[in-house]
Amino acid sequence: MLLACLLSGCFACERKNPLPISSDFSAGRKLGQIDPVLEEASGLVASRKNPGYLWTHNDSGDSARLFLINEEGKIVFTCYLQGAKNRDWEDVAIGLGPDSTSYLFVADIGDNLARFPYKHIYCFEEPAFRGEAVDTLRQFHTLTIQLDDGIRDSETLLADPVTQHLYLVSKREDAVRVYEVKNPLDADTLRATFQLELPFHNINGGDISPDGHEILLRDYEAVYYWPRPAGITVAEALRGTAKALRYQREAQGEAIAFKLDGSGYYTLSESPEQNWAHVRFYKRN
């Protein structure tokens, strides 16, 4: 029973420090049912090169592939990473690569039993959808990440559009831990340095707004929001007071992303027992 609770994320565990719900965003609206291929959708980010579309993926057990979906959850394009592995893909983020090109960062960072000393992030120039259904990517960077304080499970990757640093958030601690990876494309093996603890448990997804001024994190029960004024770091922003946003609980929700124009945020869930998830959108009021 203990192991089952661990692997499921302890959905029944009571959320600590519940916050009043902010009215900054409206209640969620279903946009469409996810394609059945995405039975274990785990990450989500708004495409930069393909406005109006979202990148997502399945977690462990699937092949190394990304899906470009429309707002209704329908797959329009599948991108395979030849030679990569999906040990436990848990999130995807977008940052800038060389020459200020849009880069995807696919986070193979899950570790339910805390067994792996290294995490891997696959990064490459964001593909542009030109009508083809499938493509195979043969060249990409593989970043090897090590947390500076030991082995921990994590499911959240944030890419800061202001500094280009990456941030990982642990999952299973009573107070989750935030780590920073500086200049991720400058080296193959990188150190993720501890920045701060947050008084939340089971954080399993997050995003930074395209303009860098807002941060979202989520768990199975709630969505948390931080403003990030100009001139402060992500870690400094997260030390501020969080708000809880409106969220309709999903069966096994693990994905969240700002809309590209900042007008709201999307959530997405896995689909346990073929209880097919929906893309939901929460509009800014």
Q: Evaluate if residue 16 carries a pLDDT over 60.
A: no
Q: For 135-191, what is each residue's pLDDT tens digit?
A: 999 999 999 999 999 999 999 999 999 999 999 999 999 999 999 999 888 766 799
pLDDT at site 4: 40
- Full set of structural domains in the chain with CATH: 17-283 (2.120.10)
Once rounded to an integer, what is the mean pLDDT over residues 259-264? 98
Q: For 146-162, what is each residue's pLDDT tens digit?
A: 999 999 999 999 999 99
Q: For 53-91, what is each residue's pLDDT tens digit?
A: 999 999 998 999 999 999 999 999 999 999 999 999 999
Q: How confident is the model at residue 99 (pLDDT cuts 50, 70, 90)?
A: confident
For the beta carbon of residue 4, count every other beta carbon within 10 angstroms. Answer: 8
- Token pair of 62, please? 């699937």
pLDDT at site 14: 41
Q: Evaluate if residue 8 carries a pLDDT over 60.
A: no
Once rounded to an integer, what is the mean pLDDT over residues 240-266? 97
pLDDT at site 35: 94
Q: For 40-55, what is each residue's pLDDT tens digit?
A: 999 999 999 999 999 9
Q: Evaluate if residue 24 carries a pLDDT over 80.
A: yes
pLDDT at site 17: 53
108 - beta bridge partners?
Answer: 89, 120
Once rounded to an integer, what is the mean pLDDT over residues 21-27? 96
